[in-house]
């Protein structure tokens, strides 16, 4: 270990910043946030630094640095654009054993300023010892995605309860109690902003610990349309702390690989007429696993509440008193249309958008066709491949022109994405000609014309136009 990591208490301590540029501005701001008494010495400073110093009642001395300026300082940062001045400041500080940081010169630093994830009182610092500040920032950004913005509130509540727990539980039980609390519903209530409920739950846990078996929790998480980068921060956090994962066919391997590698995995994928596990059995399975005290990740493609049967699952959880959370995901209509360069609404083409399912629970496609055939709107059909002939026929039967542009987005947002451009009338032929397979989203409306101009995601330039399309064929 080349450098000893340490967190300094700067509250009320004198800290000096030599320099007045953008870098010095950032350093002074960080010191002020840590509660330091900051003095800035520089002939000129940025306007933003001037405003910050005025608001914090900090001191700016508009002159060149003098040797006597280091007297009574607890910490010094040299951030001028003059290497000679920076080196001189560092030498003076070293003689008096004052910690000093020289910006962009690791050899002169007695301490390094790390990249910080601030969830006060939780602070996570990342440093490469000055070897690669850019890498440190990239690592810090990854941590930002993993650490909840409410982590500080969680630490605050646990601090409140430390003495209470010490009085109530013997030493050998305290660690187990806090581990159970911090990985279960108590922590999730804090993350969700329900601090009063979290405190009540913590009180109940203290009253019952360790005699009563703890019930688990279910996380109903939307995995999005396929691209792992479209996961939300909250989804990723819950995925990485689950004990068991119950997942669907539409969840890609790359997304599964981002979940806790030690979690038990249970596949319950469903295809048309081929359900690995019937829906009612899935509902019961979630209840059973939670009653075993497990944190259960129910991972679903797209969004759980948009043709994802999430409502049916949480109905069963609620009836059985199982705690649960729902994390929205980017639904296929939004994700696939964006990656296809097809806006769902546009002032010149479509003033509304409707999502419809390609088959109902009873297997029919008995939809509100008069409404779906209305002009000046975009209609997106989920799970519509099997009934594509009926969709094409009914839209035309109820007044939508057969020449209306339409698109089939196959495996949207993934590296295997293919886009097939045609019209309402040619949709069935497109499916046969191109061997289109699920998962595929069907987009109907004038906005499809914009694909040629707005497409941007081309993993393999898989865009195929039908010879029957009224549009000029696009790239193949």
**Residues 6 or more apart whose Cβ sits within 8 Å of residue 385:** 358, 431, 436, 437, 438, 440, 442
Task: For residues 289 and 7, give the distance between their C-alpha atoms in angstroms, rounded to a whole number.
Answer: 42
**244 three-state secondary structure:** strand
Which residues line the annotated binding site for NAD(+)?
Answer: 22-23, 43-44
Known active-site residue 270: yes
Torsion angle of alpha carbons 330, 362, 248, 353, nearest 10°? -10
Which residues line the annotated binding site for S-adenosyl-L-methionine?
Answer: 225, 301-303, 306, 331-332, 383, 412
Secondary element (H or E) of residue 48: helix 47-55
Here the tokens at position 405 are 């542009």
Out of 270, 284, 403, 452, pick the active-site residue.
Answer: 270
Please give the distance of CA 458 from its chain centroid, rounded to a whole number.
24
Known active-site residue 248: yes
Which residues line the annotated binding site?
Answer: 22-23, 43-44, 225, 301-303, 306, 331-332, 383, 412
Task: For residues 4 and 60, give the distance between their C-alpha atoms in angstroms, rounded to a whole number.
Answer: 32
**Residues 6 or more apart whose Cβ sits within 8 Å of residue 321:** 215
Out of 27, 234, 248, 300, pick the active-site residue.
Answer: 248
Q: In terms of Cα–Cα distance, which of 340, 349, 343, 345 is closest to 455?
A: 340
The end-to-end CA distance of the chain, in Å, is 55
> Given 3-state DSSP classes, what are the helix, strand and coil percentages for the chain, each rounded to the nearest 5?
40, 20, 40
Here the tokens at position 401 are 């022109």
Task: For residues 465 and 1, give the distance between their C-alpha atoms in angstroms, rounded to a whole number.
Answer: 59
Q: In terms of Cα–Cα distance, which of 27, 41, 36, 45 is closest to 112?
A: 27
The answer to whether 310 and 326 have CB atoms below 8 angstroms apart is yes
Q: Just list the catalytic residues.
A: 248, 270
């Amino acid at each position: 270990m080349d450098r000893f990591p340490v967190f300094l208490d700067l509250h009320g301590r004198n800290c000096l910043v030599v320099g007045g540029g953008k870098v010095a501005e950032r350093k002074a701001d960080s010191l002020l946030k840590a509660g330091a008494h900051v003095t800035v010495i520089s002939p000129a400073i940025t306007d933003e630094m001037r405003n910050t110093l005025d608001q914090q009642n900090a001191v700016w001395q508009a002159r060149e640095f003098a040797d006597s300026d280091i007297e009574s300082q607890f910490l010094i940062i040299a951030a001028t654009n003059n290497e000679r001045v920076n080196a001189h400041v560092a030498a003076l500080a070293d003689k008096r054993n004052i910690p000093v940081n020289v910006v962009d010169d690791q050899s002169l630093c007695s301490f390094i300023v790390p990249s910080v994830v601030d969830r006060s009182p939780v602070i996570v610092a990342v440093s490469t010892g000055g070897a690669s500040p850019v890498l440190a920032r990239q690592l810090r950004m990854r941590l930002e995605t993993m650490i909840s913005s409410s982590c500080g509130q969680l630490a605050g509540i646990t601090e409140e309860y430390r003495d209470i727990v010490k009085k109530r539980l013997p030493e050998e039980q305290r660690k187990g109690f806090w581990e159970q609390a911090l990985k279960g519903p108590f922590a999730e209530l804090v993350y969700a902003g329900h601090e009063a409920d979290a405190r009540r739950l913590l009180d109940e846990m203290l009253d019952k610990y360790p005699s009563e078996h703890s019930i688990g929790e279910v996380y109903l998480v939307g995995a999005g349309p396929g691209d792992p980068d479209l996961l939300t921060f909250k989804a990723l956090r819950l995925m990485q702390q689950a004990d068991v994962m119950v997942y669907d066919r539409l969840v890609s391997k790359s997304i599964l690989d981002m979940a806790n590698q030690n979690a038990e995995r249970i596949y319950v994928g469903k295809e048309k007429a081929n359900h690995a596990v019937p829906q009612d059995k899935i509902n019961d399975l979630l209840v059973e696993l939670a009653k075993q005290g497990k944190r259960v990740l129910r991972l679903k493609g797209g969004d759980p509440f948009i043709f994802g049967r999430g409502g049916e699952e949480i109905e069963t959880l609620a009836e059985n008193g199982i705690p649960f959370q729902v994390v929205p995901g980017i639904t296929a209509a939004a994700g696939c249309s964006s990656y296809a360069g097809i806006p769902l609404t546009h002032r010149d083409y479509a003033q509304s958008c409707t999502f419809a399912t390609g088959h109902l629970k009873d297997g029919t496609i008995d939809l509100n066709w008069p409404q779906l055939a209305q002009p000046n709107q975009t209609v997106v059909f989920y799970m519509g491949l099997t009934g594509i002939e009926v969709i094409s026929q009914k839209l035309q039967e109820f007044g939508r022109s057969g020449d209306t542009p339409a698109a089939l987005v196959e495996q949207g947002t993934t590296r295997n994405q293919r886009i097939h451009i045609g019209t309402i009338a040619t949709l069935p032929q497109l499916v046969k000609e191109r061997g289109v397979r699920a998962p595929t989203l069907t987009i109907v409306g004038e906005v499809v014309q914009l694909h040629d101009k707005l497409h941007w995601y081309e993993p393999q330039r898989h865009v195929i136009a039908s010879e029957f399309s009224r549009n000029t064929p696009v790239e193949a």
